[in-house]
Amino acid sequence: MPALATVVLVVAGLIFASYTDIPTINIRWGTPEQLNEAGVYRQSGLASVKCFGSSMSFANHMKELPGVLGVETYVGDHSVKVLYDKNVISEEDIRKAIFTPVNSIFTAPFDGSEKVSIAEAAIDQFFDPKDASLLGIRFEQNKGILALQTVFGEPVHALIYFDNRYINTEKIKSLIEGKRVTWTYDGETMAAETDFKVANIARKAEDLSLSAYLSLIYEPVEMSFNGYDQYSPAQLDSLDLKFSSAANPANTELTWYLLSHASNDKGVVKFSTLFTDNGIMLRLVFVPTLTTREKIVALLNQPEMKVFMSDGTEQTIENPFRF
């Protein structure tokens, strides 16, 4: 009888679950009076809401929003329900708070790039950073797309930066609306389904110059050190080097490490990146009486970088840059 009862209870639970929407979390912090009059906003397709931990993170984020009274999440279909005070906050405010803009760089500009084209697309069924991640994988697998930026809208607006020598807006539209994306992780092939719909897409009339694109997408790296302020301009010289490898998305953070490494030469007193129509350039200001151009270039080309960390420690890191 106990075994039979267990089987019956399990079957009954499965039947009940199939007809009942059980939330992963159900949290209320509004008063009973507020909750009785609350509006309800529902949002589905939030791939980042996938477990109890991410549900709690979402709830904590919503709790910071004035007028939100409670949250329910449903990880089975990646949906949320937000209870709110209609006199304090609107559904659009909640959508904006849930939305996370994305800025992704997929590849450095290609050799010979003089201009970068921009496609502006309105995309339905596209909201979550996980959606942008999946679309980014698809973009990386097709030559020509350099970067993606998303902006809140109904539907979401995306700015896609591309090299029109290799791809056009029709091809980009077909990539966005592809139904399946696959990639390899640790030797294992992964796959996901997408259902993005392009409401409209158009190439902007004016392309960006390469320098304008680099200035828009990349953060400049600049710092003075080793007593820069104690020298007059007449005591200083500068060395400009082509630094196209800094545009590689894998190297953007490593540029700061190269700066730290360069500071090991006490004659180098300033490091800065410049965005030009010939690509990214590196400018090093130095004291000619303390060092030479040859010594500086030799330091920059060392196979390992000696880096000073913010906590005062030192680390040795492989150097991906060559000059």
Q: Which domain holds residue 229?
A: 218-318
CATH number at residue 167: 3.30.70
Q: What percent of the chain has pLDDT over 70?
A: 93
State residue 16's pLDDT score: 44
Answer yes or no: do 301 and 274 share one domain.
yes
Q: Which of 214, 236, 257 is the last residue of a domain?
A: 214
The letter for the amino acid at 210 is: L
State residue 318's pLDDT score: 96
Answer yes or no: do 206 and 250 share one domain.
no
Answer yes or no: do 112 and 208 share one domain.
yes
Answer yes or no: do 270 and 232 share one domain.
yes
Answer yes or no: do 206 and 111 share one domain.
yes
Question: How many domains is the chain partitioned into structurally?
Answer: 3
**Torsions phi, psi of 80, nearest 5?**
-135, 155
Candidates 79, 2, 84, 74; CA nearest to 35 is 84
Cα 11 from chain centre: 44
- Give residue 6's pLDDT band: very low, low, confident or very high (50, 70, 90): low
0.85 cut: is pTM over it?
no
Answer yes or no: do 226 and 246 share one domain.
yes
193/177 Cα distance (integer angstroms): 11
Q: Which helix (H) or strand (E) holds 142?
A: none
Residue 168 lies in a domain: yes
Convert the pLDDT of each residue in 73-120 to its tens digit: 998 888 899 999 999 999 999 988 888 889 999 999 999 999 999 999
With a cut of 70, say whether residue 232 has pLDDT above it.
yes
**Highest-pLDDT range among 4-18, 262-276, 301-315:** 262-276
State residue 129's pLDDT score: 82
Buried b (16+ CB within 10 A) or exposed e, 113-151: bebbbbbebbbeebbbbbbbebbbebbeebebbbbbbbe
With a cut of 90, say whether residue 219 has pLDDT above it.
yes
With a cut of 60, say whether residue 13 has pLDDT above it.
no
Place of tokens 């040859």: 294
Q: What is the mean pLDDT of the chain?
A: 91
